[in-house]
Structure 1
Amino acid sequence: MIEIGDKAPSFHLEASRGRTVDGAELQGKPYLLYFYPKADTPGCTTQACGIQEALPQLQKLDLTVIGVSPDPIDKIDAFADKFTLSFPLASDLEHKLADQYGVWVEKTNYGKTYFGIERSSFLIDANGIVRAIWRKVKPAEHAALVAEAAAQL
């Protein structure tokens, strides 16, 4: 499990609108990796739209934002298009990156146990070091927490 002060794991993922995201290409820039359970669900929509609304402020802080879910890219593209999300949303179908960050966890809902994404975010500085972690983040509060922490980098 990733902790504050750890080096961020490397990654290369397919992302929305024909893009890819690559940790190596982010060297020298701070970025936010936020993991969300499922595209186009109420909580994930609230979270993504909050980030989109805060994006001008986050970009002034030179912060790149990347959302990550286990959804296939076609569902992610439909979600991004539906809500006009301009930042990349990446597909982690095999949950390899989620495993590295410790956010692919056992969950229980209505008595059923299954594995899925724990809504979590990781703020990584320009040197690739994890500087802030939010686990089980509340979607409506997420963007404000990120903006406040990013301003301190």
Structure 2
Amino acid sequence: MKPITLTHLDLTIDLAAHRVVKDETVAVEFAAEPGSLMSLEGPNRYAPGDALITGATGERWVVSRDRFDAKYVAHDGVTQGHAGAYRNVPVAVLAKQMHEAFSIARSEAGDVLHGEAGDWVMQYAPGDYGVVKAARFAKVYKRAS
């Protein structure tokens, strides 16, 4: 069966969506030049200064520098803006577990990410999406109170 393509998704009005918070310490490097890395969900292009993140469960992904500075704080003696350990700022986001394979663009005209049945589509803000594999979701996300 062909994966469904999600467009103009708004989890704020989806009764199957949950508010969740990530709790994780990650390893961060900052890109010196433009490039791309392949996450489990698809390609992640990056620009100089963007954060190249390795999660506690080994997955890798990219966060643009402006978003990174708002979402992560230095941890274990690391100076903000330097490579090392960072903790996510606990902010509730919307998540919905999908029951069939799917794809969604990270942003308007952004990289396309892919999920399998059981994976979660994330909405961080209007027009800002992600995909989290089911096993990783179970390890690092908790329902927001």
Q: Establish whether TM, by shorter chain, passes 0.5.
A: no
Q: TM-score, normalized by length of structure 1?
A: 0.28
Q: Which has the higher strand share?
A: 2
Q: TM-score, normalized by length of structure 2?
A: 0.29
Q: Which has the higher helix share?
A: 1
State the structure with bigger RCO (CA 8 A, min sep 6), 1 or 2: 1
